[in-house]
Structure 1
Amino acid sequence: MMGWSISLGRIAGTEVRIHLTFFLLLAWFGLVAGAQGGGGAAASAIAFILAIFACVLAHEYGHVLMARRFGIGTRDIILLPIGGVASIERMPDNPTQELLIALAGPAVNVVIALILILFFGANIHPGNSDPAALQNIDFVSRLALINIVLVVFNLLPAFPMDGGRALKALLSYKLDKVTATRIAARIGQAAAFGLGFLGLFGNPLLIFIALFVFLAASHETYAVELGEATQKANMRDATITSFSHLDTTSSVGDAVKALLGTPQREFPVTDGAGRLRGVLTRDGMIQALASSGPDTPVLDVMEREIPTIGYRAPLSQAAELLHSSGKPLVGVVDDGERVVGIITLENLAEFMLVERASQGWRRSHGGDVRSVR
């Protein structure tokens, strides 16, 4: 998703990005309105879409600023044709905090609607909710109505939408985190099927939203289960200790040889003291090979600011660090900051598979099985 988006800069300490497909949405609405009412109608339609997404952005900042109150950062906000996504580093374990973060976004839309009604004269009545009559009401009233629709839609109990997150937080008061997430995710996936079914009757946007909700619910469930599985695990249980690395003097050609000679996809770049300086991924390697050739120094194309963690730390911290950083791996280092292992998303997925199988075996036979690499 990041690769198909461009940065609009940082607002209040958070980077705002816009997905390239958003411009297709603007063009489509502009062309449709222009075909019906000329250039003025096209400009008005584009302005209205931009106003809606300004409200969506304000909605996402509701989540961001509330999360910041609890010491949780946000990597970025991405505006998509179907809405906005705030990449909050983690959700809090405290259900009250999670509930407040979930409700902060819709609360912003409530405030916007009230401002438009009380101070700008927006006229909201049941007749305006008819989609066929929407174009016949004034700009401000339409925008107020859209904000009310955003509140209602986002509060649907479709995890991981705001209503689904609020449901999960409420369930967490009585249930453990994993169970609450599973229940909320199943309800969310059922709601996604419902949205997708409605989309078959002439609204393809609902199909895209349904697909997004379904996949996001599965991803969130996996992330919570991973956090639970790694909570009691040691770093050595999922650390790759046998791996190939690249020197700071290596070229892309050297990296290609390592790629073809090993099953790795991510290669740590270390200096003479064994300290982690970056990582070169398979995709980055191929792009560099095509654009600048095999003699390109890896220092010019590697990803920098790769997080590291001490080998004595719990595995759960490494998993959280990998998720929050958005980087392809975490370096496991000794007391001298030398890299002694790496942890990747693929390796954590393998750890989860082994954990699930081990739990089933332990339930029937007892004992303990751990992944060792």
Structure 2
Amino acid sequence: MSWSVTLGRLFGSEIRIHLTFLLLLAWIGVVYYRQGGAAAAIDGVLFVITVFACVTLHELGHALAARRYGIRTPDITLLPIGGVARLERMPEDPVQEIIIALAGPAVNVVIAGLLVLLFSAQPDLGQAVALSDPGPTFAARLAAVNVFLVLFNLIPAFPMDGGRVLRAALALRMSRMKATAVAARVGQVLAFGFAALGIMGGNFMLVLIAVFVFLAASAETEGTSLMTTARRLRVRDAMISAFEALGPQSTLDDAAKVLLRTTQHEFPVVDGAGKLRGMLTRKGLVAALAANGPDMPVIEAMETDIPLAPENARLDKALDAMQVAASNFVAVAGSDGRFTGYVSRENLAELNMLTHADWAATPRHSP
């Protein structure tokens, strides 16, 4: 995720923090300082950091449960509105999805229970939703936040944990695609409710959460639809085979000329042996031109570590490879191992739209 920095690794997952999180810390520090001076500001900032440590443990709960089923979690990113664990794929088994979804809230239940047992904390949910209020005690506030995280995450607003449990439960009785559509629709309706409450109550954070839930639900529906389509196709059915390639010796000026005379958004960099060295994106080209000028070699601006798939491989496996590599492309190789084309997320989205449009336009007859 852009605008994020790596803090370290835990249990095989890279822990990242989005730079906007620093704005939250600054805001909390200012609010607490106005209420109680420097000591209160330090307490407030430390409290928020501790809350997000609990959020990290929540996401690690998902990651460890997923690892039990052979699913890696490449990274966990902390945002001002919570954490996001990026699993390399979602399990197809609804029971496994339920276990993974509930593992996160279970961690918060354990944390809240330990705070109550060890520090006699008395959680008050009124304190959990008001981070700008110093509240009674550190342990009580932290316990309240963990109880709130359990309750909030179990709301069936896809793609939150409760929404994933709802999708998995529905998938026990219907197709995964239909279950996702229903769960996403429920999530979007609840997002409108969050937004309305946030606007009426002047709670900007709730509005922000509503926007995130709505967009994430739409993205999950599209992703599930694409994976459903991909299971029926091979890589060769989706690959881009008509393109202009650049050589390792090409410069940004050469790439700019190709950009102007074609409609390509990305440019494969292929060596003399027919092997793909990397992909230069339009965004990368423009940024490199601005920073280094037209004489810079393309190999210094291209994206590398592009996953490779044979032409006859299943398209859903190529999608999995893109997810694991966090890449926007999959290179396609022919039987001789030479680069013959590529698949991009953009043309996959177009393929999905065309496939469903064709399905909708096909006449159907009752038996």
TM-score (norm 1): 0.94
Partner of 1:145: 144
Alpha carbons of structure 1 residues 209 and 280: separation in structure 2 relative to 1, 3 Å:
same
Q: How big is each residue's C-alpha offset from its partner over 1:255-293, in whole Å with a ceiling of 9 and x where there is no partner?
A: 111111111111111111111111111111111111111
The question of whether the paired residues in 2 share the 8 Å contact of 1:157 and 1:167 is answered with yes
2:124, 2:140 within 8 Å by CA — same for their partners in 1?
A: no
Residue of structure 2 in register with 1:119 after alignment:
118
Aligned-partner Cα distance in 2 for 1:35–1:159: 38
CA deviations over 1:118-156 (Å, ceiling 9, x no partner): 122212367867959963411001101110000000000
Structure 2 residues not aligned, in runs of 5+: none
In 2, the alpha carbon distance for the partners of 1:117 and 1:203 equals 29
- 1:16 and 2:15 matched: yes
Partner residue in 2 for 1:91: 90
Quote the Cα distance in structure 1 between the aligned partners of 2:51 and 2:72. Answer: 25
Provide Cα deviations, 1:317-365, integer angstroms capped at 9, x if missing partner. 2233233322121111012221111111111111112111211232348
> Number of residues paired by the alignment?
365
Aligned match of 1:289: 289
Q: Distance in 1 between matches of 2:53 and 2:8?
A: 15
Percent identical residues: 50
**TM-score (normalizing by structure 2):** 0.95
State the alpha-carbon separation in 1 of the partners of residues 263 and 365 from structure 2: 34
Residue 13 (structure 1) shift: 1.6
Corresponding residue for 1:316? 316
SS in 1 for 2:74: strand
Deviates more, 1:153-162 or 1:225-234: 225-234
**1:302 aligned to 2:314?**
no
Provide the alpha-carbon RMSD of the alignment: 1.9
Q: Distance in 1 between matches of 2:301 and 2:117?
A: 54
- Secondary structure at the aligned position of 1:66 is classed as helix
Check 1:22–1:130 CA distance in 2 against 1; reply closer, same or farther (3 A cut). Answer: closer
- In the alignment, the residues of structure 2 paired with residue 184 and residue 15 of structure 1 have an alpha-carbon distance, to the nearest angstrom, of 29
Q: Distance in 2 between matches of 1:107 and 1:158?
A: 18
Amino acid at match of 1:183: V
Contact 2:32 2:133 in 1 (8 A): no
Contact 1:266 1:329 in 2 (8 A): no
Tell me: CA distance 1:90–1:130, structure 2 relative to 1, closer, same or farther (3 Å).
closer
> Equivalences for 1:1-373 in 2 at 5 Å?
2-124=1-123, 135-200=134-199, 201-364=201-364
Kept after mapping to 2: 8 A contact 1:127/1:133:
no
CA drift at 1:313: 0.7
Deviations 1:201-227 (A, max 9, x none): 210101110000000000000010111
Aligned in 2, Cα 1:365/1:233: closer, same or farther, shift over 3 Å?
Answer: farther
Cα gap change, 1:197 to 1:107, in 2 (>3 Å):
same
- The SS at the match of 1:32 is helix
